Amino acid sequence: MTHLDLGPVASGYKALKGMLFTPSSPESLKRLIDWLEQEQRYPELLQQAKHWQSEPLELECDFNRMCIGPTKLLVPPYESVYRDVGRQIHTDRTLEVADFYQQLGLVTDTGFNEPADYIGNELEFLFCAEALRHQQQNEDPAAADELEQLAQVFLEQHLGTWYQAFAQGISQHARLDFWRCYAQALEDFLTSRLKNSGVETPTAKHH
């Protein structure tokens, strides 16, 4: 698919998720910049993204410090940590998320070594659902409606319940302004998706 073939929503998911999988990748950064230039909604993030094009490894170092380790995670990127008692990973919640993926025939990338409820994986699922919906909207409207409903339910039951806490954690702990701007854009984008689906935006809980 080309950028235009994806539709504006799927393009947003694709641009945002890339920075959570490969934040030092020139391709991820360029995809984000292209989307930001088209959207014209997040000028500060666009400025920061262009600034770090020559030294993208710095972005990955700051992200890893917050979300990957090797020491205690400042901003855990896993749904189960925010929603289950004991701040654990690989819980029943993780399996529930994986069940949604299977409805689209998706499985998590074992090479990436992250559980199903990693925030990048949840964004990947929503990207796939929206890209397929956009593709089917003229050819098979009923299938498109089913995909839209699947994405809405996933937002309501999963990513929509914890993305604000994650974004606020990034804003609090980031050393680079890029990640603060990114967190604001991510939160704004997902909030707009929840409002579009008719789901009430949750109030973030601080941990």
For the chain, the residue count is 207
Q: At 2, is the pLDDT very low, low, confident or very high (cuts 50, 70, 90)?
A: very low
Q: What CATH number should be reported for the domain holding residue 63? A: 1.10.3480.10
In a domain, 132, yes or no: yes
Q: Give 58-100 pLDDT, tens digit per residue.
A: 999 999 999 998 888 999 999 999 998 767 777 888 999 999 9
pTM over the 0.75 mark: yes
pLDDT reading at 206 higher than 50: no
pLDDT reading at 3 higher than 60: no
Q: Give 132-147 pLDDT, tens digit per residue.
A: 999 999 999 999 999 9
Q: Which residue has better confidence, 107 or 39? A: 39
Question: What pLDDT does 199 receive?
Answer: 54
In a domain, 190, yes or no: yes
pLDDT reading at 112 higher than 70: no
Per the rule left: phi > 0, alpha: psi between -120 and 50, beta: everything else, 116 is: alpha
Radius of gyration of the chain (CA): 16
**Residue 132, domain extent:** 3-197
Average pLDDT of span 173-180:
99
- Long-range CB contacts (within 8 A, 24+) of 56-59: 56/23, 56/24, 56/25, 56/26, 56/29, 57/24, 58/176, 59/19, 59/23, 59/24, 59/29, 59/176, 59/178, 59/179
In a domain, 203, yes or no: no
Q: How many domains does the chain have?
A: 1
In a domain, 92, yes or no: yes
Cβ-in-10-Å burial (0-12, 13-18, 19+) of 69 comes to exposed
Distance separating alpha carbons of residues 56 and 36, to the nearest angstrom: 17
Query: How far does the chain reach from its first CA to its final CA, in angstroms?
Result: 40
Longest alpha-carbon distance in the chain: 50
Question: What pLDDT does 49 receive?
Answer: 98
Tokens of 12: 């947003």
Q: At 184, is the pLDDT very low, low, confident or very high (cuts 50, 70, 90)?
A: very high
Q: Give 144-172 pLDDT, tens digit per residue.
A: 999 999 999 999 999 999 999 999 999 99
In a domain, 202, yes or no: no
Question: What pLDDT does 200 receive?
Answer: 53
Residue among 172, 206, 168 at smallest CA distance from 188: 168
Question: What pLDDT does 71 receive?
Answer: 82
The single-letter DSSP state of residue 164 is H
What's phi and psi for 53, nearest 5 deg?
Answer: -60, -35
Q: Are 91 and 80 a contacting pair, CB within 8 Å? A: yes
Q: Which residue has better confidence, 3 or 103? A: 103
Amino acid at 185: A
Give 118's strand partners: 78
Question: What pLDDT does 1 receive?
Answer: 38
Q: How far is CA 18 from the centre of its chain?
A: 8
